[in-house]
Amino acid sequence: MSNILYGVNGEGAGHSTRAREVLSHLRAQGHTVHVASFDRGLRNLGGDFEVTEIYGLRLAYVNNEVRYRRTLAKNLLSAGRAARSLARLLKLARAWNIQVVITDFEPLSCHVAHHLRLPVLAIDNQHALTNLKVSVPPQDRADAAAAKLITRVMVPRADAYLVLSFFEAPVTRARTFLFPPLLRSQVLSSQATDGEHVLVYVTSPAPELAALLRQVRCPFVAYGFGREGRDGNVTFKKPSSDGFLRDLAGAKAVVANAGFSLVTEALHLGKPYLPVPVKHQFEQIFNAYWLDRMGYGPYWSDLNKERIESFLFNLPHFREQLKTYSRSGNQALLKKVDSLIADYAAFVATRRRRAGHAAGQ
């Protein structure tokens, strides 16, 4: 079995949520896995796996908008902290005798692999933008170019890319393999029902959206607004992983930010989706654009009462489109991970054995 370093981006919960599924599988296969992460990744995985805290590169937000120039500047100013974290992780990787590195959009683990001449396996959805032939909204091409640059900075080079996507697209880069979204086991085992409420989720309080919802004749269950209790037709709830999943599985539709994890969980459960992407967060804009293209829900850059009502009126159409959505488990991706690890570990073992023989001569 192999010694594996798994770098997990700690910004948001999506990276650590899907990494948990791969980590659990790897451990069940008998591999020794060392996780490197920060923030949400550290908190979400630390109770069940060995996690080393590292410095994390982060996006810069101003007024609920991503600022790409500020993101680059912020991370350049933190280069010293990143360098110290890299040196510590490099020392640990040597002590752990790491053979293979896996990264979920985490750069320091990639740099460790490059220093030690180890193979890198990337598992994420971000490389859909760089490794697949996809269209983007014409008005967002500047943000798309910035997002591509950041993707290449976050994962400088990988030996294989396992790209997660909720739509099919031609692969344009060698050693790239396309897979359906990686879903947590709780979602795969959930039974979806069509209730009366619409689930609403935002990553930061959105008072303008809350005001719009109160004007629409429909019950909403809302998370992420920093409040609890009922206000007219809107029931605000505090964060709860289990409660949120129950409300998602029982919703008739979703109105939410367009993070990849929630989008793909909702699609798997057959929920029409009205995306409200964080402004200038191109990954979310990209997801919203493709939700619209696939017919799973409409995308407007600005919402109003009439557009929310239009979405609700057309739910039967979106549900019909969702009948064609491919629902599969994680087994195909996990099988590919097993195959690549076996190949890479054997390659590294052969190289080290030859180097040992050469040193002994």
pLDDT tens for the chain, 361 residues: list them: 999 999 999 988 899 999 999 999 999 999 999 999 999 999 999 999 999 999 987 666 554 556 666 666 666 656 778 889 999 999 999 999 999 999 999 999 999 999 999 999 999 999 999 999 999 999 999 989 988 988 998 999 999 999 999 999 999 999 999 999 999 999 999 999 999 999 999 988 889 999 999 999 999 999 999 999 999 999 999 999 999 999 999 999 999 999 999 999 999 999 999 999 988 889 999 999 999 999 999 999 999 999 999 999 999 999 999 999 999 899 999 999 999 999 999 989 888 888 776 666 5
Q: How far apart are the first and last CA of the chain?
A: 29
Cα separation, 277 vs 258, in Å, equals 5
Asked if residues 49 and 33 have their Cβ atoms less than 8 Å apart, the reply is yes
Q: Does residue 306 share a domain with residue 165?
A: no
Closest CA to 160 of 336, 349, 335: 336
Residue 170 is encoded by which pair of tokens?
A: 């031609």
Q: Does residue 303 share a domain with residue 345?
A: no
The owner of tokens 């007024």 is 63
Q: Does residue 207 share a domain with residue 126?
A: no
Specify which residues 52 forms β-bridges with. Answer: 36
Q: What is the pLDDT of residue 354?
A: 83
Dihedral sign from CA coordinates of 64, 69, 75, 77: negative
Cα separation, 3 vs 100, in Å, equals 7
Query: The whole model's pTM is what?
Result: 0.92
Cα separation, 335 vs 25, in Å, equals 10
Cα separation, 305 vs 112, in Å, equals 50
List b or e across 278-316, with b for residues whose CB sees 16 or more CB atoms inside 10 angstroms: bebbbbbbbbbbbbbebebbbbeeebeeeebeebbeebe
Specify which residues 229 forms β-bridges with. Answer: 236
Q: Does residue 223 share a domain with residue 169?
A: no
Specify the number of domains making up the chain: 2
Q: Does residue 269 share a domain with residue 253?
A: yes
Specify which residues 179 forms β-bridges with. Answer: 164
DSSP string, 33-65: EEEEE-HHHHHHHTTTS-EEE-------EETTE
Cα separation, 169 vs 136, in Å, equals 13
Q: Does residue 197 share a domain with residue 172?
A: no
Residue 80 is encoded by which pair of tokens?
A: 């010293």
Residue 28 is encoded by which pair of tokens?
A: 């069940």
Cα separation, 323 vs 326, in Å, equals 8
C-alpha to C-alpha distances, 107 to 10, 162, 261, 292, nearest whole angstrom: 11, 16, 20, 31
Q: What is the pLDDT of residue 74?
A: 63
Q: What is the pLDDT of residue 69?
A: 66
Q: Does residue 22 share a domain with residue 85?
A: yes
Q: Does residue 8 share a domain with residue 131?
A: yes
Q: What is the pLDDT of residue 59?
A: 65
Q: Does residue 191 share a domain with residue 84?
A: no
Spell out the residues 6+ positions from residue 222 whose beta carbon is closer than 8 angstroms to its own.
200, 201, 202, 210, 213, 234, 235, 236, 237
Helix (H, G, I), strand (E, B), or coil: what is residue 348?
Answer: helix
Question: In sequence order, which ranges of 269-330 are alpha helices (DSSP H)?
Answer: 282-294, 305-313, 315-322
Read off the CATH number of the domain in which 261 is found: 3.40.50.2000
Q: Does residue 276 share a domain with residue 351?
A: no
Closest CA to 209 of 308, 62, 63, 311: 308
Q: What is the pLDDT of residue 150?
A: 86
Asked if residues 221 and 197 have their Cβ atoms less than 8 Å apart, the reply is yes
Cα separation, 63 vs 326, in Å, equals 36
Q: Does residue 190 share a domain with residue 226?
A: yes
Q: Does residue 163 share a domain with residue 91?
A: yes
Q: Please give the residue range of the domain that contains residue 91.
A: 3-182+330-360
Helix (H, G, I), strand (E, B), or coil: what is residue 170?
Answer: coil
